[in-house]
Amino acid sequence: MSSAFDDFELKGHKFDNRFVVAPMTRTSADKKGKPTELMGEYYERFAKGGWSMIISEGVYTDRQASQGYINQPGITDAPQTDAWKEIVERVHEHGCKFILQLMHAGAQFQHNEYTDTPIAPSAVQPKGEPLSLYGETDGWSEVKAMDESDFDAVMQGFVGAVKRAEEAGFDGIELHAANGYLLNEFLSDYFNQREDQWGGNIGKRIKFVEMVAKAAKAAAKDDFIIGIRLGQITVTDPDYHWPEGEDAMIKLVKALKEAGIDYIHTADTDVNRKPFKGGSAKTLAEIVQEFSDIPLIVNGGIDQSNYEHVAAHYPNAMLAVAKAALANPDLPKRLKSGDKIEDLDFAMLQPTATLENEWKWRTEHDKHINDK
């Protein structure tokens, strides 16, 4: 049997296999960012399906400018935290670990209950169009470059969210520094055009991410996992790459090692892609593997055709799966038993990626997994 089914250990936490559900935004909380019953059913479905860990959808961290999508869940107050607590219990009942992904939308801001003004390193809008998958919008809003008080608010938001995630019973958090959201924007020379201590060469562009990682570590108890998701591409700019090539990733990995980060989650369209400027022959995850001993979570196009190879190539990694997990919420069980693996029907996520739309699709197609 593939080593993907081997036990795995991360910061003293033991996992029965190396399969992880990748973070997926489903915009299905209530208007106040409180997780719903349907979300509990959704996350429990994966826990029953044999995954050893789930990373939640990106969750907003403060009541200023961090929310990016309508009906996005938050972790900013007691009602949100209590609702998460119930879901965490449902997931833990099946022996599955649960990580909360902390996301500040930055310039990628489509809907926010608390403000109309996005904040980002510089007053720069994302390329392309907002994502209709996450609700209707009239285009990108005008962005405000962060000032001192915004830095404080963002930092306090992340630190408060770490504490509330602990309170809700999560096993850890993942800082979302990929896909074009705020922390990723600091790393980017497109979004980050600052000329102060936070912008310029990669050494400076890393600084804020490094500071948030250190603050998250300091806020958490010893056995609480603090991971980070990294990548170059953004949801509306699949070609973006750091101007320093692989050197940017090497510097980032070394800084995160120093910050004491517990895992690095590399995100790309394809786990085997060599994404760096300058023709480097390495993947994002290979850089982590070569320049540190930090445990990895790898992501991008992992499915039944390649998971054995990916597991062998990255022996110190868990395997995060998004689309194949949506199509097969019990993928690990199916891979083990040899049961049929379904392809993802994108109609499941139309017209928007809500759980209600998925539920309608499952009813129409007689695919009610948990009822079986």
Ligand X SMILES: Cc1cc2nc3c(=O)[nH]c(=O)nc-3n(C[C@H](O)[C@H](O)[C@H](O)COP(=O)(O)O)c2cc1C
22 is a site residue for ligand X (CB under 6 A)? yes
Give CA separation, 98 vs 41, 93, 169, 226, 275, in Å: 14, 11, 9, 12, 29
For ligand X, which is the closer residue by CB, 28 or 141? 28
Binding window for ligand X (CB under 6 A); candidates: 110-118, 204-212, 249-257, 322-330: 322-330
Task: Figure out which of the listed residues 99, 105, 253, 353 binds ligand X, where binding follows CB under 6 A.
Answer: 353
Q: Tell me 340's DSSP state.
A: P
Q: Are 8 and 320 in contact (CB under 8 A)?
A: no
Tell me whether residue 111 or residue 199 sits nearer to ligand X (CB atom): 111
Q: Which two tokens stand for residue 261?
A: 């980060």
Residue range at the interface with ligand X (CB under 6 A); choices 10-18, 182-190, 238-246, 295-303: 295-303
Q: For ligand X, which is the closer residue by CB, 193 or 272? A: 272
Residue 58 lies near ligand X (rule: CB under 6 A): yes
Q: Which stretch binds ligand X (CB under 6 A): 218-226, 236-244, 273-281, 318-326?
A: 318-326
CA–CA gap between residue 320 and residue 103 (Å, rounded): 18
Chosen residue from 17, 25, 188, 352 binding ligand X by CB under 6 A: 25
Nearest residue to ligand X, scored by beta-carbon proximity = 322
Residues in region 242-271 near ligand X by CB under 6 A: 267
Distances (CA, A) of 96 to 82, 120, 164, 185, 335: 19, 35, 20, 32, 18
Is the CB of 162 or the CB of 353 nearer to ligand X? 353
312: exposed, middle or buried (Cβ count in 10 Å: 0-12, 13-18, 19+): exposed
Closest distance between ligand X and the C-beta of residue 211, in Å? 21
70 near ligand X, rule: CB under 6 A: no
Is there binding between residue 178 and ligand X (CB under 6 A)?
Answer: yes
- Which residue among 36, 301, 309, 336 contacts ligand X (CB under 6 A)? 301
Q: Beta strands of the chain (E only): which ranges? A: 8-10, 13-15, 19-21, 53-59, 97-102, 119-120, 144-145, 172-179, 225-234, 263-267, 296-299, 317-321
Which CB atom, from 42 or from 199, has the smaller least distance to ligand X? Answer: 42
Q: Is 176 in the site for ligand X (CB under 6 A)?
A: yes
DSSP codes of every residue in 171-212: SEEEEEEEETSHHHHHH-TTT----STTSSSHHHHHHHHHHH
Give yes or no for residue 232 binding ligand X (CB under 6 A).
no
Instruction: Determine phi and psi for 348, rounding to 5 degrees.
Output: -60, -25
- Binding residues (CB under 6 A) for ligand X: these are 22-25, 57-58, 101, 176, 178-179, 229, 267, 299-302, 321-324, 349, 353
